[in-house]
Copies of this chain bind each other. A is one copy, B any other.
Amino acid sequence: MRSNPNASTAGSEFRISGNNGISKYPAKSHARRIAEGIKSPDGVIVLEGEHKAYYAHSDQARHFRQDRYFYYITGCNEPNCKVTYDIAKDKLTLWLPRADPARIFYDGRGSTPEEAMEKYDVDEARYLTPATSTREGRPESLTFMLEAHKRASQKIWCLKRQDILQASLMDSFLLKNAMEACRAVKDADEVALIRKANNISSKAHLEVLKNLRHLKSEPEAEGIFLGTCITHGAKEQAYGPIVGSGPNAGILHYNDNNEAFGNRQVLLIDASCEWQLYAADITRTMPLNAKNPGHWPSKESETVYKAVEAIQEACIKALGPGKRFINANWLATHMAIDALLDLGILKGDHMEIFHQGTDRAFFPHGLGHHLGLEVHDMPPPTGQEMRFWAKFDFAGQHAAFAAEYALQRQALPQFLEIPERWIENNFGLKQSVSMKPCTIESPPLEPGNVVTVEPGIYFNKFILDTVYLKDPQHKRFIDEEVLARYMPVGGVRIEDDILITEDGYENLTGALKGEDMLRAIRGEDVEL
């Protein structure tokens, strides 16, 4: 039940088995990798799991969602637990709450230490309190835990927003950086879990496609999607499902999912389940066409879909070890501008539009994000790297990229200009976790990274009316007559999850898209 002491710190060889033959989540391997990142010969890492809590003025428990940092180092999805990792001793201890015997029949109970040793890849599992105590006062718990380690005076690492420890004890920056560096590089076990989440989610997307011709509303589609995930054992969605028809497909985080299809042209479903806390993140956009199911109901919807499809395919191919995600994002942006010019929605000069940022009226988000224990997973740390990237030759990089792209499309030489908007504000979303791989300071991709690739083109009346068509600097690039024909399309986004491998990438998402998707809607035989 102990992890193999001879194993290296890399990937899948850490997959170990309990006596019952069930594979365990590689918690110990994660603890060791984190300790390597901290670069300290001793000290104790202390992390606290999520507590069971109740809604105010209610006897109903809040939805329990385990703290991801805690899970990463324990594999334990139970409430009210803590964990310590003694670096010098290489000893990982899971601390469990004692159940109240009077409440077990009503509330159930967590694992006993014996059960925890069977389930989790830890060296030791103990109760948080001595047998004589029935309460788990937090300061007492800490003292108790640290006494067990006989290292109370030594260095202790924990994370902010965990109230078990006083600030004076914390060195959260180092630990957070080390954990983010580890989490960004998935081992084989983690990839397997993301793959499984993808497989179930893809089945749920397929179930919607197969039934689409009979559906009349967003909630019907959402019901099929969620029901299918649960049926396959995936109870938790990785994020609030977006099931938007027509104009609702143009609202980025639409989640009302309560409208009838009417004569709308497309249905956008951005929905995926978790598998053992690991997320998938898949978006599909499909035609709504009562008269001719499985065919695009208009030239406009078809051309927008195909434009987004082409962007997504090109961007996926642009990924690989050592490549930088921002290059793919640049590619998406320039291809979107070209597509919108081709459609006639945009008019004028490519680079003028780019510098003005008018394309953001139609493609206002980044190309993707890391994926793992969070749907917007922790990116690799930029704290140390910031100093490096601050000196990075951004202008030169973009110039090189632009020259290559211009060559491919025989575009104009002004493509080589430096786009200030990228330097200035990285979309103005520098702080957002979900934007991290798209920023200029993000390090190059490496094997084990899992990122989404999700370009989109949207026709959002609110954003057009209140921002872009109001501003002469943008309005001059938009052909409102052409745009009016495209408004009913609402929006198209296509999103897959990409694993970076040693020699390129692997698309983990099997959900049908393109022609296969249309065939599934038509009721033809398809395979996932």
Contacts and interface: CB of A to CB of B under 8 A. Distances in A.
Q: Identify whether the interface residues of A are mostly helix, strand, loop, or mixed.
A: loop
A156 interface: no
A58 interface: yes
A162 B229 contact: no
Interface string A38-63: 00000000000010000111111111
Given A219-B230, A257-B235, A460-B105, A62 B59 contact: no
Contact of A228 (B69, B227, B233): B227
Contacts of A68: 57-58
A220 interface: yes
A428 B108 CA distance: 18
A252 interface: yes
A252 B56 contact: no
Interface residues of A, number: 57
Contacts of A108: 251, 253-254
Given A56-B50, A65-B55, A233 B258 contact: yes
A432 interface: yes
B233 A219 contact: yes
Interface string A208-241: 0000000000011011101111111101000110
Contacts of A67: 55-57
Contacts of A69: 57
B230 A364 contact: no
Contacts of A106: 252-253, 365
A508 interface: no
A159 interface: yes
Given A57-B161, A59-B376, A60-B376, 8 more contacts: A50-B56, A55-B65, A55-B67, A57-B67, A60-B375, A223-B231, A227-B230, A235-B257
